[in-house]
Amino acid sequence: MDMVCDKLPEINHDFDNDPIPLKLQDGWIKTNGTTLGADNGIGVAFALALSEDKSVSHPPLELFFTVDEETGLHGAQNFNTEYLSGKKLLNIDTEEWGSIYIGCAGGEDVTFSRNYISKKKEINLKIEVTGLKGGHSGIDIHRGRLSATKILAFILNAYVTEHKNHSLELSAFNAGIAHNIIPRNASALLNVPKNNKESFIKFCEQKIIAIKEHCNTEDLNLSLNFSDPEIKEDDVISNQCLDRFLNMLSLCPHGAHKIDWRFEEELVSQSSNLAKVNLKNNKLQGEISFRFNNEFEREVYLQKLNAFSVQCDLNLNIEGYYPSWVPSIGDNPFLETAKEVFKNEFSCEAKIKAIHAGLECGLIKEKLGDIDIVSIGPNITGAHSPSESLEIKSTQDLWKFLTKFLAAN
């Protein structure tokens, strides 16, 4: 219903047929090298549990499950509004226990493409960036985690910049797996003149050492690997095209671009994730996911993106728009009830927040009109990555909150 299927490269797992390998560790449910699906299988599980537990006191409930949330919110985009009559929406799809969310970002997906001039040439080196933390392109975009795409582009660009008369040639570049995952891995197939191969590898290794001296501790497992490619001959793009390709990757906006300081904690209000880049047989395909808190920030980013595409001679396609859920703090009885129940049960105040991720609430509110919404969930870490984990204690606390909150409505 709402899961990103991702795994470590060395893990042999078929998401269509194999069960998720669960394990318990220090009070958390984890997996063995795959995404867990707690985002948002746990929300589905809570809703189903409410439908079966006759001991829970609650008003009439409409349980609303949507498909394809992670690949474009298609379920929320296309549901028939006649099926729903409720005016209060409790969304169980956030990942930080103790916080009640009242807003989320909107978003859009951008694909870009172009062809380069190429010729057949020997391929003699594969270079790979591995070991990065990655993470969710919304809730983790401000944490300063490295992008494998940007790292590999930086290293190659540094080499061709410092070696003006280089003979380095690029055949393929591949990075990223999904629009909402910060790329953890990237690889390139190269032709490196044999007399320069050793010095090229040494240059790249020195750049990685410099990067690790300044990166977050989460990315200290960053590694650069070199190997002989399986492909021995393929299309390589010209030196002029290589310069344009690497400059394009350097210029492409990536990361958190703007902060909204009106909340207790800083809230990213505009960001983009250079999610996927694939260059093969002289054809470039790329994908950017960008998020915004309001329509003005969307307009600003689209203007920047258009200028980027013109400068880099890219074919641009923008699709998958979904609106933001604009926070409503004042005159919100539904929120006040949630705050009161939380304080009574746990003897502390819930934090009231908005999130820089694409919850379906904005789309649902746009379709249903004047409804009250709050969103809450247990502690989930590493969503959209093989390190995804679900905390058992906060899951139990959430069930306690849900039963009391529903009884109060």
- Give how far the C-alpha of residue 313 lies from the chain's centroid of Cα atoms, to the nearest Å: 26
Q: How far is CA 303 from CA 173, 295, 296, 297, in A?
A: 27, 12, 11, 10
Q: Calculate helix-pair angle for 148-162, 197-214, nearest 10 degrees.
A: 130
- 10 Å CB burial of residue 55 (0-12, 13-18, 19+) is exposed
Output the tens digit of pLDDT for each of the chain's 409 residues.
778 898 988 899 999 999 999 999 999 999 999 999 999 999 999 999 999 999 999 999 999 999 988 877 888 889 999 999 999 999 999 999 999 999 999 999 999 999 999 999 999 999 999 999 998 898 899 999 999 999 999 999 999 999 988 889 999 999 999 888 999 999 999 999 999 999 999 999 999 999 999 999 999 999 999 999 998 889 999 988 999 999 999 999 999 999 888 766 778 999 999 999 999 999 999 999 999 988 899 999 999 999 999 999 999 999 988 889 888 766 789 999 999 999 999 999 999 988 888 788 988 998 998 899 999 999 999 888 899 999 999 999 999 999 999 999 8
pLDDT the model gives residue 167: 86
Q: To 5 degrees, how large is the angle CA 249–CA 241–CA 162?
A: 70
Indicate which residue of 2, 6, 96, 235 is catalytic: 6
pLDDT the model gives residue 329: 66
- Answer yes or no: are the C-beta atoms of 133 and 385 closer than 8 Å: yes
* 69 is known as an active-site residue: yes
Distance CA 122, CA 363 (A): 51
Distance CA 216, CA 256 (A): 16
- Answer yes or no: are the C-beta atoms of 110 and 177 closer than 8 Å: no
Identify the structural domains of the chain with CATH numbers, from first to last. Answer: 22-105+325-407 (3.40.630.10), 110-321 (3.30.70.360)
Indicate which residue of 2, 39, 69, 95 is catalytic: 69
Length of the chain: 409
Q: Would you call 279 helix, strand, or coil by DSSP?
A: strand
Distance CA 402, CA 61 (A): 13
Supply the pTM of this predicted model: 0.80
Q: To 5 degrees, how large is the angle CA 286–CA 189–CA 151?
A: 60
* 6 is known as an active-site residue: yes
- 10 Å CB burial of residue 299 (0-12, 13-18, 19+) is exposed
Starting at the edge strand found earlier in the chain, the sheet holding 28-31 runs: 22-25, 28-31, 389-391, 380-381
Joined tokens for residue 351:
């934090």
Q: Which residues contact 330 (CB under 8 A, 6 or more apart)?
A: none
